[in-house]
Amino acid sequence: MKTLLPVITVSLFLMVIWYGFSAILNSTWTKDQANRAGVEVTFSEILRDTMVQQRPLLPAPHQVIIELWDTTINKKITSKRSLVYHGWITLSATLLGFLIGTGLGILLAIGIVHNKAMDYGVMPWIIASQTVPILALAPMIIVVLYSIGLAGLVPKAIISAYLSFFPVSVGMVAGFRCPDPTQMDLLKTYAAKRSQVFWKLRVPISLPYLFTSLKIGVAASLVGAIVGELPTGAVAGLGARLLTGSYYGQTVQIWSALIGSAILAATLVGFIGLVQKYTLTRMGFAR
Amino acid sequence: MDKNPVIQARNLGLIFQTKDSPVEALKDVNLDIAQGDFVSLIGPSGCGKTTLLRIVASLDHPTSGEITVNGMTPEEARLKRAYGYVFQAASLYPWRTIAGNVRLPLEIMGYGKEEMKERVDKVLKLVHLAGFENKFPWQLSGGMQQRASIARALSFDADILLMDEPFGALDEIVRDHLNEQLLELWKRTEKTICFVTHSIPEAVYLSTKIVVMSNRPGKVVEIIESPLPKDRPLDIRDSKEFIEVAQQVRVGLRTSHSYE
């Protein structure tokens, strides 16, 4: 209850700001229309009009909410107009990409921690990989994969993995390296093998890092999947909704797709948060 | 009494290479520790007492001289799991329960499930921690955590126990109590104990042999054989012999001590 009030207050505050900007930004169009028609409009008429435009510069929150409701609850989920349908297309690519990215990230981290050559040889490339704008890279990945017969889910998942392996590998390198010298010495006094050091010490001690990395990684995966949908000609998925929306000036559709993907990301991150809380409490990390 | 030598050091030296200049941590250390001895290494900070212990444990390596542990090199002894090591901090794994922590070396050494449980129960009883098996380390006091770490070092029954200022961070009362328990444990298990401390009363109370060290470079200045009996109630610390030994240690420390 203590946190509920501030949360509601912040939400309301954001709503008010959003409504304010909608009114200001959309009023230009209202005034232009009135000018062209040669009629005078009062302030209240302008205000009313900015809330109900077909193609507003910035849709009002309730327009987006209605659109969201309409495209999720009121449509069959198999319909191409259903946001659930598009959401699922994007989600499946996100999850596959997240899985590949996490696996790759952890494997790289294991290699980097155990092998000096990999530390010096691979780490710079991992960092360099993220300085290339994904928007420039995505079309090339899709074209290259298409030429070897891969289209649809897999190329999107690969772009998504490209973004999500990074936080996981960097986070897990830090996690695997965080045992202090005494903890390492302790295992040395038991003449523990490297694999035992890994499983008994490095893995459990890095779990808090893992969950943090996964949260960043899954959000990046979603971005990757959406970006991966843009150059394919906008067939299906949240990215496609964004693209068709911008082709036809359907701002309400764009914003509802945006909010939809934000809700999806929040759900994914929230789910990882739950697993994190459960696991770390059971392991005695949380007090 | 003719006892087997467990640890023998001859002209042992260790020079650390640092960026500006080499640091001589240990110089010409000669030491014999026999089976069943309780040996304390005492000296000012920086005298290399911890380094000496780490060399015995093969966690650091000497640059000159020779040392054997159970007749082997320290490295071989470590691989044979000849000793249990207790660190300054309890360094229990926070994600393991007390029983889980004590079980850790047993898991690594590949003991069977039932034997693990037996041994964990046994050593936890030995350090008076029975009933705390399923607690996490943070639920225990500092003294109890340190006892758990001693139990962990005892669990696989190594003959040698190396202890690096295990009670340094604890208050006087808890420390007295743990000293008493440690002595009792030593009598019962007949282990060879090598104990680093910078407390004179602690060293005199516990040891059969006190190694007084000086710093820069770390050297052994005096080895004092304690005349105190094996049975030592806490109030032995008020006896004449105790005070004499303590005096001797203090003089040894003072004459060798310099901050130059």
The pLDDT of residue B1 is 44
| Shared domain check, A151 and A19 | no
Q: Do the Cβ atoms of B95 and A201 come within 8 Å?
A: no
Q: What is the pLDDT of residues B95-115, one digit of tens each?
A: 999 999 999 999 999 999 999
Residue B141 lies in a domain: no
Residue B77's domain comprises 1-82+196-260
In this prediction, residue B215 has a pLDDT band, given cuts at 50, 70 and 90, of confident
Give the chain A residue nearest B86 (alpha carbons): A186
| Shared domain check, A267 and A210 | yes
Name the residue among A185, A204, A283 with its Cβ closest to that of B59: A185
Residue A155's domain comprises 83-282
Instruction: Please say if the pLDDT value at position B258 is more than 60.
Output: no
The pLDDT of residue B256 is 67
Q: What is the pLDDT of residues A130-146, one digit of tens each?
A: 998 888 888 898 889 98
Residue A191 lies in a domain: yes
CB of B49 within 8 A of CB of B126?
A: no
Residue A68 lies in a domain: no
Residue B230 lies in a domain: yes
- Nearest-angstrom CA–CA distance, B42 and B40: 6
Tokens at A93, concatenated: 């690519």
Tokens at B201, concatenated: 């009363």
CATH number for position B17: 3.40.50.300
How many pairs of residues across A and B have Cβ atoms under 8 Å apart?
A: 55
Tokens at A94, concatenated: 């996100």
The conformation of residue B72, written as its DSSP 8-state character, comes to: B
| Shared domain check, A128 and A187 | yes
Q: Tell whether B157 lies on the interface with A, counting CB pairs under 8 A.
A: no
Q: Tell whether B211 lies on the interface with A, counting CB pairs under 8 A.
A: no
Number of structural domains found in chain A: 2
Give the chain B residue nearest A197 (alpha carbons): B108
- Nearest-angstrom CA–CA distance, A198 and A208: 16
The pLDDT of residue B25 is 87
CB of B58 within 8 A of CB of B74?
A: yes
Name the residue among B57, B95, B109 with its Cβ closest to that of A285: B95
- Nearest-angstrom CA–CA distance, B75 and B83: 11
CATH number for position A183: 1.10.3720.10
| Shared domain check, A108 and A19 | no
Give the chain B residue nearest A287 (alpha carbons): B138
Say whether B232 sits in a helix, a strand or coil. Answer: coil
CB of A97 within 8 A of CB of A138?
A: no
Q: What is the pLDDT of residues A73-123, one digit of tens each?
A: 888 888 888 889 999 999 999 999 999 999 999 999 999 999 999 999 999
Say whether A148 sits in a helix, a strand or coil. Answer: coil
Mean pLDDT of B219-224: 88
Which one of B104, B138, B150 would you mutate to disrupt binding with A, by most A Cβ within 10 Å of its Cβ?
Answer: B104
The pLDDT of residue B126 is 85
CB within 8 A of B34, min separation 6: which ones?
A: B3, B4, B5, B6, B192
| Shared domain check, A178 and A228 | yes
In this prediction, residue A234 has a pLDDT band, given cuts at 50, 70 and 90, of low
The pLDDT of residue A287 is 54
* Count of beta carbons in the 10 Å neighbourhood of residue A38: 6
Please give the share of chain A, as a percent, with pLDDT higher than 90.
66
Which residue is it, tokens 């926070």?
Answer: B94
Mean pLDDT of A162-184: 94
Residues of A in contact with B91 (CB under 8 A): 180, 182-183, 186
Tokens at A195, concatenated: 């694999």
Residue B202 lies in a domain: yes
Mean pLDDT over the full length of chain B = 88
Q: Which of B153, B50, B156 is nearest to B92 (CA)?
A: B153
| Shared domain check, A215 and A124 | yes
- Nearest-angstrom CA–CA distance, A233 and A236: 9
The pLDDT of residue B174 is 81
Number of structural domains found in chain B: 1
Instruction: Please say if the pLDDT value at position B257 is more than 70.
Output: no
Residue A60 lies in a domain: no
- Nearest-angstrom CA–CA distance, B208 and B202: 12
Pairing between β-strand B38-42 and β-strand B209-214 as defined by DSSP bridges: parallel
| Shared domain check, A114 and A47 | no
Name the residue among B87, B94, B136 with its Cβ closest to that of A186: B87
Q: What is the pLDDT of residues A39-80, one digit of tens each?
A: 888 888 888 888 988 889 999 999 999 999 988 888 888 888
Which one of B56, B59, B111 would you mutate to disrupt binding with A, by most A Cβ within 10 Å of its Cβ?
Answer: B59
Residue A42 lies in a domain: yes
The pLDDT of residue B86 is 94
Winning range, highest mean pLDDT, from A35-39, A227-231, B109-113 = B109-113
Enumerate chain A positions whose Cβ falls within 8 A of a Cβ in B: 180, 182-183, 185-192, 196, 200-201, 204-205, 207, 283-285, 287
Residues of A in contact with B99 (CB under 8 A): none
Tokens at B61, concatenated: 């390596």
Residue A74 lies in a domain: no
The DSSP H or E segment spanning A45 is helix A43-50
The pLDDT of residue A203 is 95
The pLDDT of residue B41 is 93
Tokens at B192, concatenated: 């060879």
Which residues, in sequence order, are bridge partners of residue A17?
none
| Shared domain check, A40 and A115 | no
The CA-based dihedral angle spanning residues B7, B9, B12, B14, taken in that order and rounded to the nearest 10 degrees: 0
Residue B155 lies in a domain: no
Residue B89 lies in a domain: no
Residue B66 burial (CB < 10 Å; 0-12/13-18/19+)?
A: exposed
Helix %, strand %, coil % of chain B (to 5): 40, 25, 35
CB within 8 A of A235, min separation 6: which ones?
A: A229
| Shared domain check, A248 and A125 | yes
- Nearest-angstrom CA–CA distance, B99 and B155: 11
The CA-based dihedral angle spanning residues A94, A99, A100, A103, taken in that order and rounded to the nearest 10 degrees: 150
Which residue is it, tokens 């059971």?
Answer: A282
CB of B199 within 8 A of CB of B49?
A: no
**Nearest CA distance, A191 vs chain B (angstrom):** 5
Q: What are phi and psi of A199, to 5 degrees?
A: -75, -35
Q: Which of B167, B242, B227 is nearest to B198 (CA)?
A: B167
Q: Which long-range contacts (CB under 8 A, 24 or more apart) does A46-54 make?
A: A47/A23, A50/A22, A50/A23, A50/A25, A50/A26, A51/A22, A51/A23, A51/A26, A53/A26, A53/A29
Name the residue among B84, B91, B94 with its Cβ closest to that of A285: B94
| Shared domain check, A97 and A30 | no
**How large is the C-alpha radius of gyration of chain A?**
24
| Shared domain check, A34 and A87 | no
Mean pLDDT of B212-241: 86
| Shared domain check, A160 and A265 | yes
Give the chain A residue nearest B83 (alpha carbons): A189
Instruction: Please say if the pLDDT value at position B164 is more than 60.
Output: yes
- Nearest-angstrom CA–CA distance, A151 and A161: 16
Mean pLDDT of A164-185: 94
Is the preceding omega at residue A133 within 30 degrees of 0, hence cis?
Answer: no
Q: Do the Cβ atoms of B89 and A186 come within 8 Å?
A: no
DSSP H helices, chain B, are 49-56, 74-79, 98-108, 113-126, 142-154, 172-189, 200-206, 240-256
Residue A270 lies in a domain: yes
CB of B256 within 8 A of CB of B64?
A: no
Q: Which of A208, A187, A176, A114 is nearest to B104 (CA)?
A: A187
Tokens at B197, concatenated: 């401390």
Mean pLDDT over the full length of chain A = 91
Residue B96 lies in a domain: no
Residue A70 lies in a domain: no
Which residues, in sequence order, are bridge partners of residue B23?
B16
Give the chain B residue nearest A286 (alpha carbons): B95
